[in-house]
């Protein structure tokens, strides 16, 4: 019935859409298809307009600015690749890249930690399960600024709780927030902690997709708990592990708020903690050099694409999509 | 079709009428509201007081105070300057002023000062110099600060030392710092944070040097006077009279002074308001002294805020009226009563001292004010200032020699200055 009626009005058409229709090519002449296409474009217009103004234009503008030398407040002159040339020889930039990559590397520790906690939370008959889930998820919905402030106090070298605790087991005081490399590790620990809840939730949903019949079959074949986990569960959740790896690495490449809050521009250790986005902020907003800052942001875009592409290439070797 | 056209014409005419009405509204009829941007919430009540006095005197002008956190203030202002959206009147500091003046983002006020018959010369020349660019005056600075020594009287007494007095020297300071340091009790004689304004710039000047040449084109960190000024701090830090640089980066020197862990520090007059409410001050144990004398002099750096008007002001006359009021003795009196800073008018200094009389004797802060110098400022100072911490922390830690650290600092600052020249 519905398939033979050419919709006369939008309301009639909407009613027609709700009714089931046979698969295959849609009926109607070219006029109808053009009408359909137009409706489609009209419907994505609001979103497209928003995305254009808020994303496409800024991205295009940033790329353009990266080829210019900018005035303090406004105006720019085209200088070609000069900003990128300077970037290649900028030791502070490369140090920021190294700190960012180190941070991203440490953030991958989220995977075993998330697997561990998710497996524990997935144990049958666990009491207060929802309570634990809320507990682990709380840091995710806490403001990064508050997280940074609290951890800054916890990491205080003289009066911080962290040093007090490790002091109990005889480890000497560590200058968490001022020693090169250690400072990046400290910030990465906070980042790990803050995003743990999200990773656990992802991992939990991954674990719940493991079919019971496969597990049962493995038990019948005589596989113990450890063997079942290593040979059945783990291969089946590799897509989730891959998702967590990609999301965490992309987020790590953009780390900024924790660096600003925990270290900040006035600290003597900022140069050992500076990440790419932090360096972008320093150049763009403290030194008022917007063209160079744009070049840094484009470099970050390229780096993110390269790293993510590499991850997608490597996944073929270890991610298992068979069920 | 014809019908549509006439509707279009009517719409255009209505829009034009609205625009014209908007313009005349900005003129003389009805009160005009001007936005005033500042970055310090703690000073807002004092400024609100000044604003109400101003509004009473000028019923046709309303002032809307906008406070932006200092960390974001300059970033916001820079964006506003790029889009011709600066507030009608706004705060400025000496380090960022030359950028705004050189880029033509703000307007000089010489003509208006003359026309209004305001006596700008009542403001000390050194203060006006801060906000003068290429011979033109841009602000009527009406607040000033200085750096002094704040100390813990109880620790001095416990170490058997007498309180510092005017005329003391670097050698006295270092001797006291040594005597006050007691590692077993966790007490340090002084603190050496990486702080250009509070510490380094003062001792460099007292050794007879400056980090910037008079023509603002050459960095001078390598000169012997600058080395001497930095050696003073490096010595005290490496001898253990101060908490380590790492410790000071996680706990600031002011908290360490108030908690009795550090006996004396160089810190700004603006800390008075915070210190006044401390237990140390309530116990009558907080002391203030002028800076100890270096090889050449015992002057302190001084700084002033400026109230600026954008070049493309929407209400130039009203904005100027407010700026002039803020620069007047009347506003200075209200300002100093709040204990935040001194004003341009020495006769109001006693207000500042009186504000603290119940907590500590602030007279040395007023005495030090008579002996000050302006901060070294180039066209785009924030650039080379961002190199100071990274380059000088190793010097204070003792991991790099003073001369090597300063050589590196000099190279970085010279690079920044050379870039300024092309901007």
- The yes-or-no verdict on residue A285 having pLDDT over 80 is yes
- The pLDDT tens digits for A140-189 are 999 989 999 999 989 988 788 999 999 999 888 888 888 889 999 999 99
For residue B329, count CB atoms less than 10 angstroms from its CB and return exposed for 0-12, middle for 13-18, buried for 19 or more: middle
* Per-residue pLDDT at A18: 56
Residues B119-139: tens digit of each pLDDT:
989 999 999 999 999 999 999
Complex ipTM value: 0.71
Residue ranges, chain B, pLDDT below 70: 1-29, 423
Q: Is the pLDDT of residue A74 over 90?
A: no
The alpha-carbon radius of gyration of chain B (Å, integer) is 25
Is the model more confident about B368 or about A76? B368
**In chain A, which residues have their Cβ closer than 8 Å to the Cβ of B76?**
none
Query: Encoding tokens for residue B382?
Result: 């924030």
Confidence of residue A277 (pLDDT cuts 50, 70, 90): very high
Q: What is the pLDDT of residue B21?
A: 44
Helix/strand/coil for B68: coil
Q: Does residue B292 sit in helix, strand or coil? A: coil
Residue B144 zone, left/alpha/beta (φ > 0; ψ -120 to 50; rest): beta
Q: What's the CA gap between B148 and B367, in Å, rounded?
A: 10
Backbone dihedral angles phi then psi of residue A249, each to the nearest 5 degrees: -70, -45
- C-alpha B341/C-alpha B144 separation (Å) is 6
No. of H helices and E strands in chain B? 20, 12
First and final CA of chain B: distance in angstroms?
55
Cβ count near B204 (within 10 Å): 26
Q: Which residues contact B307 (CB under 8 A, 6 or more apart)?
A: B36, B89, B90, B91, B92, B139, B140, B322, B323, B326, B327
Which residues of chain B are within 8 Å of residue A178 when distances are taken between CB atoms?
245-246, 249-250
Do the chains contact at B249 and A177, CB–CB below 8 Å? yes
Provide the number of CB pairs (under 8 Å) joining chain A to chain B: 70
Contacts of A172 in chain B (CB under 8 A): none
Of A266, A278, A207, A277, residue with least CA distance to A236: A207
Chain A residues whose CB is inside 8 A of the B83 CB are 74
pTM above 0.90, yes or no: no
Beta pairing partners, B65: B36
Q: Are residues A178 and B249, on separate chains, in Cβ contact within 8 Å?
A: yes
With the C-alpha atoms ordered B67, B380, A263, B409, is the resulting torsion angle positive or negative?
Answer: negative
User: Among B82, B250, B386, whose Cβ lies nearest the Cβ of A286?
Assistant: B386
Bridge partners of residue A156, in order along the sequence: none
User: At CB < 8 Å, which residues of chain A contact B?
Assistant: 71-74, 152, 155-160, 175, 177-179, 265-271, 282, 285-289
Residue of A nearest to B85 (CA): A73
Q: Is the pLDDT of residue A44 over 80?
A: yes
Nearest to A282 by CA among A251, A256, A254, A252: A256
In A180-219, which positions are buried (b, 16+ CB within 10 angstroms) versus exposed (e)? eebbbebbbbbbbebbbbbbbbbbbebbeebeeeebeebe
Q: Would the pLDDT of A265 be above 60?
A: yes
| CB contact at 8 A, B68 and B76 | yes
Q: Which residues of A touch B103 (CB under 8 A)?
A: 71-73
Q: Provide Rg for chain A, Cα atoms.
A: 26
CA distance to A279, B75, B87, B248, per residue, from B82 (Å):
22, 11, 12, 37
Shortest Cα–Cα distance, B389 to chain A (Å) = 5
Q: Would the pLDDT of A39 be above 50? A: yes
Residue given tokens 């390598």 in the structure block: B222
Closest chain B C-alpha to A263 CA, distance in angstroms: 9
In angstroms, the first-to-last Cα distance of chain A is: 40
Total residue length of chain A: 323
pLDDT at A17: 54
Query: A121 falls in which pLDDT band (50, 70, 90)?
Result: confident
**Would you tell me how many other CB atoms lie within 10 Å of the CB of residue A106?**
18
Judge contact between B61 and B7, C-beta under 8 A: no
Do residues B325 and B331 lie in contact, with contact meaning Cβ atoms separated by under 8 Å? yes
Determine the distance in angstroms separating the CA of A273 from the nearest CA of chain B, rounded to an integer: 11
Instruction: Read off the DSSP letter of residue A54.
Output: I
Q: Give the three-class secondary structure for B312.
A: coil
Looking at the complex, does the CB of residue B423 fall below 8 Å from at least one CB of chain A? yes
Residue located via tokens 């105006």? A75
Q: Which residues contact B385 (CB under 8 A, 6 or more apart)?
A: B95, B196
3-state secondary structure of B160: coil
Is the pLDDT at A210 greater than 90? The verdict is no
Write out the two tokens for B17. Answer: 């009428």
**Cβ pair A262, A151 in contact under 8 A:** yes
CB A232 within 8 A of CB A215: yes
pLDDT digits (tens, 9 = 90+) for B179-220: 999 988 989 999 999 999 999 999 999 999 999 999 999 999
């Amino acid at each position: 019935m519905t398939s033979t009626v050419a919709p006369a009005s939008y309301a009639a058409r909407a009613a027609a859409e709700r009714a089931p229709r046979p698969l295959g090519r849609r009926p109607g002449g070219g006029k109808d298809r053009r009408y359909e296409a137009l409706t489609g474009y009209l419907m994505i217009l609001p979103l497209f307009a928003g995305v254009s103004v808020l994303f496409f234009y800024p991205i295009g503008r940033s790329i353009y600015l990266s080829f210019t030398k900018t005035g303090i407040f406004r105006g720019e002159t085209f200088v070609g690749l000069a900003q990128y040339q300077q970037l290649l020889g900028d030791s502070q930039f490369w140090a920021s890249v190294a700190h960012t990559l180190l941070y991203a590397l440490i953030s991958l520790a989220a995977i075993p930690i998330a697997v561990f906690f998710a497996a524990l939370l997935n144990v049958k008959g666990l009491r207060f399960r929802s309570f634990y889930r809320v507990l682990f998820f709380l840091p995710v919905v806490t403001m990064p600024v508050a997280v940074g402030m609290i951890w800054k106090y916890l990491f205080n070298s003289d009066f911080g709780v962290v040093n007090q605790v490790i002091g109990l087991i005889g480890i000497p005081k560590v200058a968490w927030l001022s020693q090169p490399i250690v400072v990046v590790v400290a910030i990465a620990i906070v980042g790990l902690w803050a995003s743990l809840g999200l990773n656990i939730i992802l991992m939990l949903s991954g674990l719940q997709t493991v079919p019971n019949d496969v597990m049962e079959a493995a038990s019948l074949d005589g596989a113990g708990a450890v063997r079942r986990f290593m040979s059945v569960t783990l291969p089946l959740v590799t897509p989730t592990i891959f998702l967590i790896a990609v999301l965490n690495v992309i987020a790590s490449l953009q780390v900024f708020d924790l660096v600003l809050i925990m270290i900040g521009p006035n600290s003597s250790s900022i140069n050992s903690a500076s990440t790419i986005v932090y360096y972008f902020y320093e150049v763009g907003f403290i030194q008022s050099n917007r063209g160079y800052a744009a070049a840094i942001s484009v470099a970050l875009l390229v780096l993110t694409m390269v790293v993510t592409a590499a991850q997608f290439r490597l996944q073929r070797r270890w991610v298992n999509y068979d069920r | 079709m014809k019908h549509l056209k006439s509707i279009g014409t009517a719409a255009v005419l209505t829009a034009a009428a609205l625009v014209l009405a908007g313009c005349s509204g900005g003129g003389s009829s009805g009160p005009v509201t001007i936005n005033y941007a500042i970055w310090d919430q703690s000073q807002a009540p004092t400024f609100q007081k000044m604003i109400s006095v101003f509004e009473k005197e000028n019923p046709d002008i309303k002032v809307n105070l906008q406070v932006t956190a200092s960390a974001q203030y300059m970033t916001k202002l820079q964006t506003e300057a790029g889009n011709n959206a600066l507030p009608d009147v706004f705060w400025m500091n000496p380090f960022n002023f030359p950028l705004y003046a050189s880029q033509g983002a703000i307007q000089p006020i010489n003509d208006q000062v003359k026309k209004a018959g305001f006596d700008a010369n009542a403001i000390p020349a050194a203060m006006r110099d801060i906000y003068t660019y290429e011979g033109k005056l841009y602000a009527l600075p009406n607040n000033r600060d200085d750096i002094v020594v704040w100390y813990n009287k109880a620790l001095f007494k416990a170490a058997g030392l007498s309180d510092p007095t005017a005329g003391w020297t670097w050698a006295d300071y270092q001797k006291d710092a040594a005597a006050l340091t007691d590692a077993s009790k966790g007490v340090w004689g002084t603190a050496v944070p990486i702080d250009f304004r509070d510490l380094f710039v003062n001792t460099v000047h007292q050794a007879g040097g400056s980090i910037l040449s008079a023509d603002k084109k050459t960095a001078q960190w390598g000169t012997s006077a600058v080395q001497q000024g930095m050696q003073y701090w490096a010595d005290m830090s490496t001898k253990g009279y101060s908490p380590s640089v790492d410790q000071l980066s996680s706990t600031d020197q002011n908290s360490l002074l108030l908690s009795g862990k550090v006996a004396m520090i160089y810190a700004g007059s603006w800390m008075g308001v915070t210190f006044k409410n401390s237990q140390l001050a309530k116990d009558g144990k907080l002391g203030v002294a002028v800076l100890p004398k270096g090889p050449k002099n015992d002057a302190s750096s001084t700084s002033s805020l400026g109230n600026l008007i954008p070049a493309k002001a929407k209400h130039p006359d009203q904005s100027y009226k407010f700026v002039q009021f803020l620069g007047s003795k009347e506003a200075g009196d209200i300002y100093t009563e709040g204990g935040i800073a001194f004003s341009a008018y020495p006769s109001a200094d006693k207000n500042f001292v009186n504000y603290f009389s119940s907590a500590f004797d602030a007279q040395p802060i007023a005495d030090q004010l008579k002996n000050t110098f302006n901060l070294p400022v180039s066209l785009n100072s924030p650039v080379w200032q961002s190199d100071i911490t990274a380059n000088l922390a190793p010097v204070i830690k003792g991991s790099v020699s003073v001369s090597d650290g300063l050589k590196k600092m000099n190279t970085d600052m010279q690079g920044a200055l050379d870039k300024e020249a092309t901007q």
